[in-house]
Chains A and B, each alone.
Chain A
């Protein structure tokens, strides 16, 4: 038993020595690891990969995948990076052009992050070869900073610009058969469901009040700035610094999610009061009742409009107009 272990140890040491000595072997080692996506690196293997005599390009993404770091971009880009690596290994490329794709997670490679003084993630480092046909004089890695969410295509074209000219593999997104199949299934299911339910659904679809409600709600949402919330991702409410809630954001160009809902509600009340005055009230046959309805709806209209004006005044300090109650 014992002699065998020693032998194995000896052999593995030997192979390690050989690998460090001759770069083609080093490339082979990493290349074989990267058959299924980018190589997972740690401090030691990163050093091994990037030490000086290398006849290949090394593209390493330094990332922080763990949920603790809250790096959304790292997690989003991981799949894309996988895609780049796979596409490269599959396609045909220039003779002798070798690229190793690697991923170094912050958990496994804190020293590397310190070495390159990185404070943000993800960062892509592209090490040019030092020997071989494509060797570059300066061995310093080229750095790509992620300034926002980008797709694999953008990064791939960046990498390609730094590689020597010549044929390169095309980035191929795998066809998502699962998605196509499930899409077709859902579509057919929907068609079936529709055919079965047709007699019941038809009156709903043809219901004028339903369409009116949907349209009016859409209009109220859009005109109260819902799309602004969606695009700018504003907070729903914010504290006012004294433990309470401030419902209205300061400034003309800001708003909170709840603020827009309040405004939409105000618009809805005002519109409904107008509709009531125009359509409901003139159809009332009771004299007293009509008088009362006019007073109520007119009063609501007046009060709510006054509230709206006062809210607008808080948003726009110099606004000179107001109505009495508020």
Chain B
């Protein structure tokens, strides 16, 4: 129940945090309200915060936004209390989500940019050092993190900026005692010395292996081709693919074009907190472009910027009173210190028609935004992934409920401790809905575990069976979409299983063997022997031919005919197949009672004559052992 309710509850807190954060950026109260409303309904965040989603990312985004709010407060006030609170929530974030590295790098970057802009102040110093010292200590309490903050390159920028800000503070202190020229000399030599020492030390430590190189997940963000070659397990996840532009519009609607306008407004004001918004905006839009999943970190800043931009428009156009000569004069006096092109004073809008036109069209866009979010949420994010809906030719809705059917079957018909093996995508669902232990689930980060499953799926039965026995697997579950044309099935994910397994056992599994001589991935008669003998292939097509008239069995996903003969399975038996054949469950046979191997036992049951392996030729020899 707590799992079920927490995402929406946290989403409410996120909206609150968003209001607080945006209010720090603008004097206009409407900006915060707009940003909070945007955050509440934008599909980019609702995808994680609908009731029933199992992710802790809903919590993570609340912590992200709130930590940033506290950080801005700390920088503005230069207070140890706010800095300590930032560290506290940062620690919570570390325990909740691996994406905490984003905060770890963004805050130092903010401070670094502030120093480069010559905006160093004791407030920055107090906020940063408090956050860094307490936050690092806090994060080191998390077992998963341990000593990473001082050894891993992901965290080095925070440490580096911590050192830098000490030096800057020292220089600032010295400046008060020395005459200008001497100070300049001292400063230059100090900078050269420190940079040289620091750079040399970093190289030395990296080479000697004290500091680990960038972690693979992080590195794949910069070198976009890296993951594909070196870490198939990252490249295999669909959320780690790059983002095409429709996805941005789909998730953010008209916020996406208010976003640059809001960033521009930040450049107009450019106080310390606006610098933060700008850095965050540029970085996270890069990240969101590289990985679909990181759209999640982009959404908060888009809401802030869009709130700023829209309130900037509405504050001007929603004022009833017309500007008079008096207000003009006042504005003149007030804005005289403003800079740049916008130096002419704000006078206001004269005609009611202009006001009605702009506020009317903005209201229209807002209403469309609400409609868009409702539509996206109901179409894409709220339909649970375990129930598929399709339209029949007459337009009525047809529910395909195979997943639940199969999980219910598992719950009812298997012993409580039966272990299920499936590809890791289904681990959570099996754990949650069928209440059975699984070999790997969605949160498995142990590459070898996943590769083991990949190996079992992609090897011959004789190889897979010992693996299944070793891991006490009772049932194997595969997803097969061939009958229905459901493209997200296991055979389409199969190459990733092969690749991941190949990463660990390159001698036994070879991706090349699954492609025909002409380099095609086929499942029909021309499929390679390795493919045809793989456990996954056999389980998917086992008895599938019996549904069709002889010789006409078709796979609707891959759009090919499948071989006329059904594959044979010796070490497993079919336990359950759902209505539309989407889920197939196989029971792993126990060892044979008579000690035969399984292929012999099956042959015997079929009434085939036992094949003698090879007739012994030559004279009989006495056994010498």
Q: CB within 8 Å of B: which residues of A?
A: 117, 119-120, 145, 147-150, 158, 161, 208-209, 211-212, 215-216, 218-220, 222-228, 230-232, 252-255, 259-260, 263, 266-268, 270-272, 274-275, 277-285, 287, 290-291, 294-295, 298, 301-302, 305, 308, 312, 315-316, 318-321, 323
Contacts and interface: CB of A to CB of B under 8 A. Distances in A.
A168 to B, nearest CB: 17
Interface string B246-259: 11111000101111
Contact of B267 (A145, A211, A280): A211
6 shortest interchain CB distances as A-B pairs: A227-B289, A225-B245, A278-B312, A270-B257, A294-B354, A222-B285
A279 B268 contact: yes
Nearest to B279: A215
A226 B245 CA distance: 8
B119 to A, nearest CB: 12
A223 B507 contact: no
A97 B315 CA distance: 82
B507 to A, nearest CB: 7
* SS class, residues of chain B in contact with chain A: helix
Contacts of B268: 279
B295 to A, nearest CB: 10
A219 B285 contact: yes
Contacts of B354: 281, 290-291, 294-295
B361 interface: yes
Nearest to B258: A274
A321 B254 contact: no
Contacts of B289: 222-223, 225-228
B64 interface: no
B224 A227 contact: yes
A209 B341 CA distance: 10
B236 to A, nearest CB: 15
Nearest to B225: A231
Contacts of A320: 375
Contact of A271 (B246, B247, B261): B261
A5 B247 CA distance: 78
Given A208-B267, A218-B282, A290-B349, A224 B245 contact: yes
B110 to A, nearest CB: 14
A291 B312 contact: no
A270 B247 CA distance: 18
Given A158-B506, A282-B347, A285-B347, A260 B518 contact: no
Contact of A316 (B228, B246, B281): B246
Which among A223, A279, A308, A316 has the highest number of chain B CB atoms within 10 Å?
A: A223
Interface of B: 224-225, 228-229, 242-250, 254, 256-261, 263-265, 267-268, 270, 278, 281-282, 285-286, 288-290, 309, 312-313, 316-317, 328, 340, 342, 344-351, 353-354, 357-358, 361, 365, 368, 371-372, 375, 379, 506-507, 510-512, 517-519
B344 A223 contact: no
Contact of B258 (A211, A271, A287, A298): A271
Contacts of B225: 231
Given A274-B261, A278-B316, A315 B246 contact: yes
Contacts of A290: 349-351, 354
Contacts of B245: 223-225, 228, 255, 259-260, 263
B353 A278 contact: no
B346 A305 contact: no
Contacts of A272: 261
B282 A302 contact: no
A252 B242 contact: no
B263 A305 contact: no
A148 B495 CA distance: 14
B280 to A, nearest CB: 11
Contacts of B270: 208
Nearest to A252: B246
B229 A212 contact: no
Contact of B256 (A148, A227, A259, A267): A267
Contacts of B349: 281-282, 290, 294
Contact of B344 (A226, A283, A295, A319): A283
A123 to B, nearest CB: 10
B312 A223 contact: no
A295 to B, nearest CB: 7
Contact of A284 (B256, B347, B357, B379): B347
B355 to A, nearest CB: 9
B109 to A, nearest CB: 14
Contact of B345 (A212, A228, A283): A283
A263 B511 CA distance: 39
Contacts of B512: 145, 147
B108 to A, nearest CB: 19
Given A120-B519, A158-B506, A321-B368, A223 B248 contact: yes
A286 to B, nearest CB: 9
A280 B264 CA distance: 13
Given A218-B285, A231-B242, A283 B346 contact: yes
Given A145-B512, A215-B281, A227-B242, 20 more contacts: A119-B518, A147-B511, A150-B229, A208-B267, A215-B267, A218-B286, A223-B245, A231-B224, A231-B225, A255-B246, A266-B257, A275-B309, A282-B349, A283-B344, A290-B349, A291-B351, A294-B351, A316-B250, A321-B368, A321-B371
A271 B248 contact: no
B375 A283 contact: no
Contacts of A224: 245, 248
B422 to A, nearest CB: 26
Given A298-B358, A312-B249, A220 B260 contact: yes
A120 B516 CA distance: 12
Most chain-B CB neighbours within 10 Å: which of A219, A227, A284, A298?
Answer: A219
B526 to A, nearest CB: 15
Contact of B351 (A268, A275, A287): A287
Contacts of A295: 354, 357
B43 to A, nearest CB: 13
A291 B340 CA distance: 24
Given A255-B244, A287-B350, A267 B316 contact: no
Contact of A277 (B340, B344, B358, B507): B358
A274 B309 contact: yes
A294 B511 contact: no
Most chain A beta carbons < 10 A, residue from B358, B372, B517: B358
Contacts of A231: 224-225, 242, 290
B20 to A, nearest CB: 23
A225 B354 CA distance: 35
Nearest to A157: B506
Contacts of B229: 148-150
Contact of B517 (A119, A209, A227, A319): A119
Contact of A215 (B282, B328, B510): B282
Nearest to A277: B313
A130 B358 CA distance: 86
Nearest to A211: B267
A212 B263 CA distance: 8
11 contacts: A147-B512, A212-B264, A215-B263, A218-B286, A222-B286, A223-B289, A230-B224, A259-B245, A275-B265, A278-B313, A279-B268
Contacts of B278: 215
Nearest to B245: A225
Contact of A267 (B257, B290, B344, B351): B257
Nearest to B224: A231
A230 to B, nearest CB: 7
A229 to B, nearest CB: 9
Contacts of A150: 229
Nearest to A285: B347
Contacts of A211: 267
Contact of B313 (A161, A209, A274): A274
Contact of A312 (B243, B246, B317, B346): B246
Contacts of A301: 361
Contact of B260 (A228, A263, A268, A287): A268
Given A278-B312, A312-B249, A223 B224 contact: no
